[in-house]
Amino acid sequence: MMTKYDRVLLAREKERPTAGNYISNLVTHFVEMHGDRRYGDDRAVIAGIGLLEDEAVTLIGIEKGHDTKEKIECNFGSAHPEGYRKALRQMKLAEKFHRPVICIIDTAGAYCGIGAEERGEGQAIAENLMEMMMLKTPVISIVIGEGGSGGALALAVADEVWMLSNAYYSVVSPESCANILWKDTNKAAQAADALKLTATDLLEMSVIERIVEEPRQYQYDIQNDIFYGNLKKDLLGKIQALESLDVEQLLENRYEKYRKIGRNNRVTI
Amino acid sequence: MNLRGLFKSADNVLEGSPNKNDGTGKTEEKSYVYECPNCKSMLTRQGVREHDYSCPECDYYFHISARKRILMYADSKSFDELMAGVESENIIGFPEYDQKLLDARKKSGEKEGVVCGRITIGKMPCCIFSMDANFMMGSMGTVVGEKITALFEYATRQQLPVIGVTVSGGARMQEGMLSLLQMAKVSGAVKKHSDAGLLYVVLMTNPTTGGVEASFAMEGDIILAEPNALIGFAGPRVIQQTLKKKLPKGFQRSEALLKCGFVDDIVRRIEQREYLEQLLLLHGGRAQ
Ligand SMILES: [Zn+2]
């Protein structure tokens, strides 16, 4: 029986396909757009437009990279504020041109550093949350590996959030949690249990809407036609359903979805 | 979330004292002399209180409770608390959380980490929320998120501005992802309030970090900070451990954020009430 922490380790497995692999397997005619028009181009975030079958979609992914050079270039999948602002710029364009947005998330967390703080990491995340809550076009986010706290949430305010069966999504990494609570990073497995961070846990808690089953754990081929074919079909089906709603209904549903989180304590004044 | 040490000064002589004075125990107060942790001047409790809980000599800021903060700004007897009775439960069955909640309630004297309500400032009505550092480091769980969200919804219906005072170590890990999603939930309510053309003023106090900084603290139309408050997404200790180098002087402090363009103004505690009154006035506030 696989523990929750086993899944955390699988989510971090170096052989897992990255956001870039998903994009190239899901869409054709992909055009990448760089830059946030403010400061720079964060390589941790890939953003652009592609055709999902015959539907133009905006794709935004947090990229971890494959080899050492790539990994360093994209800061191992930890985005600076520029990355989140690049994503938001593309989302606003998607809204303008009535394209659905697909976010592909795989990050241990937002980048932790001096420049990131000085250029407003928190502000960039906050702005994304606010804008995504009311973005007038369908948004689907998929956590494909790590869903590390605010850095993941900044691309996961969506009409539907999906997770790979071995991905995790957590308010804090199990290691930091164990360190803060018990001053012992070796208790990460216990922390993982307590945090309820697996796809199954989160589906039960209505944090996510769907689990995407992985073939043979993470070791699926990067070119697995069946896996990507099914995912593409599911995405198209959901996008069609979301596009059939009028925008007011779409936004109201999205708002209500988040409004209910922690509903045991819902109060009225 | 690695912010333990930052909150040590919350256990200062002004807090949690049995001498909860409303002008009663003044003689005792005057005789109670202690040292300012910053400039080492000898202070009396009364002197500090009259100076809005800052040191009259050096402007050192003592931590103050959420409730005292509201009373500091509100016109006398104008505070009308909303959602006072809401309490957290151990919503995901997190180990040791029940005990932590009990301790936090005892330590802060509050049911949860945020106090919300209506007040008037200079007779102008507004909604206010104020976080409490003594309640699990001002962390945001589902109740904190719910109360702030409901307050924004109420303010939108009532066409009132919102003033928010933040102090927080971020999302509360004992409620797992349900805490993290409060960032999105509150942001949605802030956005609706904003789209209704209503004013939201944030005052960040020491420290405002993590998921609170990365959501509603940075979503104000006007963002203010107390001097020398620690404000950031990642905690300085985490950054230092990650980079393995010393952080620049004044890093993540209010003054640095002002320089980088992330706060509109730094306002001394003693001037905050008047400043807020002025902002309300400038945004069409009418005396009731
Ligand atoms: Zn002093």
- Pick the residue with more confidence: B98 or A262? B98
Task: State residue B288's pLDDT score.
Answer: 82
Partner A contacted by B84 (CB < 8 A): no
The backbone torsions φ and ψ at residue B283, rounded to the nearest 5 degrees and listed phi first, read: -110, 35
Nearest CA in chain B to A119: B260
Which candidate in A84, A103, A149, A169 is best for mutational testing of the B interface (most B CBs within 10 A)?
Answer: A149
Percent of chain B whose predicted confidence (pLDDT) is above 90: 75
**Is A121 close to B4, i.e. CB distance below 8 A?**
no
Task: State residue B34's pLDDT score.
Answer: 83
Chain B: give the shortest CA distance to residue A153, in Å: 8
Cβ contact B132:B124 at 8 Å: no
Average pLDDT, whole number, for chain B? 89
List CB contacts (< 8 A) between A197 and chain B.
176-177
At B213, is the secondary structure helix, strand, or coil? helix
Q: Which DSSP helix (H) or strand (E) runs through B96?
A: none
Structure tokens at B38: 């910053």
**Is B176 close to A176, i.e. CB distance below 8 A?**
no
Kindly tell me if the per-residue pLDDT of B177 is higher than 90: yes
Structure tokens at B54: 């800052």
CA A70/CA A40 separation, integer angstroms: 18
Partner A contacted by B244 (CB < 8 A): no
Determine the topology of domain A4-259 in CATH: 2-enoyl-CoA Hydratase; Chain A, domain 1 (3.90.226)
DSSP state of A144: E
Burial of A117 (0-12, 13-18, 19+ CB in 10 A): buried
Task: State residue A100's pLDDT score.
Answer: 98
Q: Which residue from B112, B82, B108, B120 is spatially nearest to B11, judged by alpha carbons?
A: B108
Task: State residue B95's pLDDT score.
Answer: 95
**Is B214 close to A114, i.e. CB distance below 8 A?**
no
Task: State residue B10's pLDDT score.
Answer: 39
Strand intervals (E) in chain B: 33-35, 42-44, 80-82, 114-121, 124-131, 162-168, 200-209, 222-225, 231-232, 265-266
- Pick the residue with more confidence: A95 or B51? A95
Q: Which residues contact B160 (CB under 8 A, 6 or more apart)?
A: B118, B125, B126, B127, B154, B198
Instruction: Give the residue-averaged pLDDT of B29-45.
Output: 81
For the ranges A46-60, B56-70, B100-114, the lowest mean pLDDT is seen at B56-70
Dihedral of the alpha carbons of A45, A164, B177, B254, in degrees to the nearest 10: -10
> For B215-259, how does the pLDDT look when each residue is reduced to its tens digit (9 = 90+)?
999 999 999 999 999 999 999 999 998 889 899 999 999 999 999
Task: State residue B46's pLDDT score.
Answer: 87
Chain B: give the shortest CA distance to residue A98, in Å: 21
Partner B contacted by A175 (CB < 8 A): no
Kindly tell me if the per-residue pLDDT of B33 is higher than 90: no
- Pick the residue with more confidence: B45 or A133? A133
Partner B contacted by A202 (CB < 8 A): yes
Partner A contacted by B239 (CB < 8 A): yes
Kindly tell me if the per-residue pLDDT of B19 is higher than 50: no
Partner A contacted by B243 (CB < 8 A): yes
Kindly tell me if the per-residue pLDDT of B195 is higher than 50: yes
Task: State residue B30's pLDDT score.
Answer: 52
In chain B, residues 108-147 whose CB comes closer than 8 Å to chain A: 141-143, 145-147
Partner A contacted by B203 (CB < 8 A): no
**Is B92 close to A180, i.e. CB distance below 8 A?**
no
> For B8-18, how does the pLDDT look when each residue is reduced to its tens digit (9 = 90+)?
333 444 433 33
Interface predicted TM-score of the whole assembly (ipTM), two decimals: 0.96
Structural domain spans, chain B: 64-282
Chain B: give the shortest CA distance to residue A175, in Å: 12
Q: Is CATH 3.90.226.10 what the domain over B64-282 is classified as, yes or no?
A: yes
Instruction: Give the residue-averaged pLDDT of B32-51.
Output: 87
CA A66/CA A236 separation, integer angstroms: 28
| Helix residue spans in chain A (DSSP H) | 4-11, 19-26, 68-73, 81-96, 114-118, 121-133, 149-153, 174-182, 188-195, 199-204, 225-243, 247-259
Task: State residue B25's pLDDT score.
Answer: 37
What are the DSSP calls for B13-82, one per residue?
TTSS-S---SSSSHHHHHH-EEE-TTT--EEEHHHHHHTTTB-TTT-PBPP--HHHHHHHHSPTT--EEE
CA B59/CA B41 separation, integer angstroms: 11
* Core vs surface per residue A2-37: b (16+ CB within 10 A) or e: eebbebbbbbbeeebbbbbbbbebbbeebeeeeebe
What are the helix and strand counts (H, E) for chain B? 10, 10
CA A47/CA A23 separation, integer angstroms: 10
Which candidate in A38, A130, A204, A252 is best for mutational testing of the B interface (most B CBs within 10 A)?
Answer: A130
Instruction: Give the residue-averaged pLDDT of B251-278.
Output: 97
CA B233/CA B100 separation, integer angstroms: 24
CA B40/CA B49 separation, integer angstroms: 17
Task: State residue B8's pLDDT score.
Answer: 39
Q: Which residue from B236, B221, B226, B241 is spatially nearest to B282, judged by alpha carbons?
A: B221
Task: State residue A49's pLDDT score.
Answer: 98
Kindly tell me if the per-residue pLDDT of B52 is higher than 70: yes
The neighbouring-strand residues paired with B200 are B162
Break chain B down into helix, strand, coil percent, rounded to 5. Answer: 40, 20, 40
Alpha carbon B39 to chain centroid, angstroms: 24
**Is B4 close to A180, i.e. CB distance below 8 A?**
yes
Can you give the pLDDT of all 269 residues of chain A as single tens digits? 899 999 999 999 988 999 999 999 999 999 999 999 999 999 999 999 999 999 999 999 999 999 999 999 999 999 999 999 999 999 999 999 999 999 999 999 999 999 999 999 999 999 999 999 999 999 999 999 999 999 999 999 999 999 999 999 999 999 999 999 999 989 999 999 999 999 999 999 999 999 999 886 555 565 688 899 999 999 999 999 999 999 999 999 999 999 999 866 567 77
Q: pTM for the complete prediction?
A: 0.93
The backbone torsions φ and ψ at residue B6, rounded to the nearest 5 degrees and listed phi first, read: -60, -25
